């Protein structure tokens, strides 16, 4: 499997010169190809004259890597054009657009691409072509066969960042057929359950939601200030606010995913079944939730991170359908139900439960899981900015696994049990 080591690199004048020339080469290659595609619908994959122009300046290997990077962008574009002609574009892509230039905020986007055999890294220094040795900060988490290195200038934090691709061995899939079921949502980011767990566990998104709204309001104030001062649409401060909001959200999500996957591995889980989100943008009528879903809440990011993290532990991740899982009774399978807020009631058998518990238990039923004896209301974990903690704990002692949490925590409300 492929992973990336990320670190910051000390500033150096040669980095600026090298990155500027790399951007110039990429933009010139891209310009010629855009013009050739518009006029003739074809172009050369090997611009020899541009390679010969920039190879003495940035190095032959680096020049070839820049051209290869542009080749990748154009191959992706041509693949999308073929799908567009067949009417099979992915739903999140309106139309296929030609690759853009390396430009940002009125200047060139500074980026360097180094071939895998042209750099070396030790515990303190990064060694680049032309005898350039730079100190870096950061931990090299992944060790294996190194791939190419991309160095990008971050104009928000005003720092050089290195992204080092690494190929590491993929662990074998875990044996057995014990699955963990997860229902993703907005109010509760994830509700989980597996066979043998007496009470579903829900990761409340209310604190994350409140934090997101706090930074959203700060962004709105900054946008209003810019419009009044000089009618600008962006600034370094505004871009930093956007980044802070995104990083805080992703920190909470990644901490949740890490806790779930590590606990699943410790409990012998061999497969994770994620409720496949479909139509959530159309079906949600709450204005605040709608704003989050459409503007910031990235379910695709959450699903991707689940797959990446589970892969490191040899756990399979499968997306399963969750159509009507929150509107069918998990005890009697009746559709004669009513819902108000987060509460669910079956008008046939009288079951009262939390909607997210109903959703995750119905996902389990759809995939042949047994839910007899499961508590109908979840155990709630909340985000405190550092870790996910339960609302009420006994003896204030840490809990390392889901089983420990269940055995040492009190239910957060009076619960009904499925029988």
Using one digit for the tens of pLDDT, what is the confidence trace for 338-356?
Answer: 888 778 888 888 888 888 8
Same domain, 293 and 359: yes
Residues of the chain with pLDDT under 50: 394-401, 403, 406-419
Kindly state whether residue 219 falls inside one of the protein's structural domains: no
Kindly state whether residue 68 falls inside one of the protein's structural domains: yes
Kindly state whether residue 61 falls inside one of the protein's structural domains: yes
Same domain, 184 and 113: no
According to the model, what pLDDT value does residue 292 have?
Answer: 65
According to the model, what pLDDT value does residue 83 have?
Answer: 94
According to the model, what pLDDT value does residue 286 have?
Answer: 57
Domains of the chain: total: 2
Among 167, 195, 217, residue at a domain's last position: 167
According to the model, what pLDDT value does residue 85 have?
Answer: 93
Please give the Cα distance from 8 to 100 (Å, whole number).
26
The DSSP bridge partners found for residue 104 are 107
Please give the Cα distance from 377 to 400 (Å, whole number).
22
Same domain, 125 and 99: yes
In whole angstroms, how far apart are CA 295 and each of 233, 246, 281? 18, 11, 11
Same domain, 288 and 188: yes
According to the model, what pLDDT value does residue 398 have?
Answer: 42
Same domain, 137 and 23: yes
- Per the structure block, which two tokens stand in for 317? 């991740």
How, if at all, do strands 271-276 and 316-321 pair? parallel
Same domain, 186 and 160: no
Please give the Cα distance from 121 to 134 (Å, whole number).
10
Residue 285 structural domain? 179-205+239-408
What is the value of pTM for the model shown? Answer: 0.84
Q: Which residue has the tokens 């000089």?
A: 230
In whole angstroms, how far apart are CA 227 and each of 132, 217, 295, 394? 44, 15, 21, 52
């Amino acid at each position: 499997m492929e992973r990336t080591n990320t670190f910051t690199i000390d500033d150096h004048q040669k980095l600026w010169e090298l990155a500027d020339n790399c951007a110039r080469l990429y933009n010139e290659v891209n310009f010629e190809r855009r013009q050739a595609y518009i006029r003739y619908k074809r172009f050369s994959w090997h611009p020899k004259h541009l390679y010969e122009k920039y190879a003495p300046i940035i190095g032959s290997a680096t020049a070839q890597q820049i051209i290869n990077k542009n080749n990748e962008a154009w191959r992706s574009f041509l693949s999308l054009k073929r799908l567009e002609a067949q009417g099979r574009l992915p739903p999140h892509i309106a139309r296929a657009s030609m690759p853009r230039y390396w430009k940002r905020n009125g200047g060139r986007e500074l980026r360097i691409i180094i071939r895998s055999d042209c750099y070396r890294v030790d515990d303190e220094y990064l060694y680049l072509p032309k005898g350039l040795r730079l100190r870096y900060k950061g931990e090299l988490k992944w060790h294996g066969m190194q791939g190419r290195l991309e160095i990008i200038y971050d104009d928000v934090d005003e720092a050089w960042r290195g992204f080092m691709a690494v190929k590491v061995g993929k662990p074998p899939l875990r044996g057995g057929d014990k699955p963990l079921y997860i229902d993703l949502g907005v109010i509760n980011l994830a509700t989980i359950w597996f066979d043998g767990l007496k009470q579903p566990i829900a990761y409340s998104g209310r604190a994350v939601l409140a934090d997101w709204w706090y930074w959203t309001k700060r962004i709105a104030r900054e946008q209003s200030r810019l419009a009044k001062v000089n009618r600008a649409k962006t600034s370094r401060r505004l871009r930093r606010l956007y980044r802070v909001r995104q990083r805080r959200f992703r920190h909470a999500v990644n901490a949740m995913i890490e806790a779930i996957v590590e606990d699943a591995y410790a409990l012998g889980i061999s497969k994770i079944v994620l409720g496949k989100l479909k139509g959530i943008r159309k079906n949600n009528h709450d204005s605040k939730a709608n704003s989050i879903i459409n503007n910031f809440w990235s379910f695709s990011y959450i699903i991707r991170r689940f797959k990446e993290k589970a892969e490191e532990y040899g756990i399979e991740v499968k997306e399963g359908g969750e159509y009507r899982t929150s509107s069918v009774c998990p005890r009697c399978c009746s559709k004669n139900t009513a819902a108000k807020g987060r509460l669910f009631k079956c008008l046939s058998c009288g079951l009262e439960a939390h909607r997210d518990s109903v959703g995750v238990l119905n996902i389990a039923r759809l995939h042949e899981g047994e839910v007899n004896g499961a508590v109908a209301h979840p155990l709630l974990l909340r985000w405190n900015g550092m870790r996910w903690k339960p609302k009420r704990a006994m003896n204030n002692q840490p809990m390392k696994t889901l089983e420990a949490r269940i055995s040492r925590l009190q239910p957060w409300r009076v619960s009904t049990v499925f029988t």
